[in-house]
Amino acid sequence: MINGASGGVGTFAVQIGGSQKVVALFIAKLNKEALTVLQELLEAGRVAPAIDRRYELSAVPDALHYLKQGHARAKIVININT
């Protein structure tokens, strides 16, 4: 939320058949009903986060360097369970 706003902006990828995927931008109200629908889509495998790279906690400087260079095309994940 930004400045008390009740909405959010994000992206998601949906597989629509075979290897075809659609990446979409969405704007949603962040309420219980919307989050329940999102949970159901995630659990059914209909929505997947777009992950560019994964880094271990010890490699955070490398992850930040990669991000600052503008190479990331999706989310960068930091694994804190080391």
> pLDDT at position 62, please?
95
43, 74: one domain: no
Q: Are residues 22 and 58 in the same domain?
A: no
Q: What is the pLDDT of residue 72?
A: 84
Element (H, E) at 75: strand 75-79
CA distances from 19 to 22, 65, 73, 74 (A): 10, 31, 19, 18
My answer on whether 24 and 2 are in the same domain is: yes
pTM tops 0.75: no
Q: What is the mean pLDDT of each run of 10 residues along the chain (82 residues)?
A: 44 57 61 84 84 93 92 88 70
**Does residue 44 sit in the same domain as residue 59?**
no
The boundaries of the domain holding residue 69 are 51-82
Same-domain pairing of 33 and 55: no
Residues 2, 42 within the same domain: yes
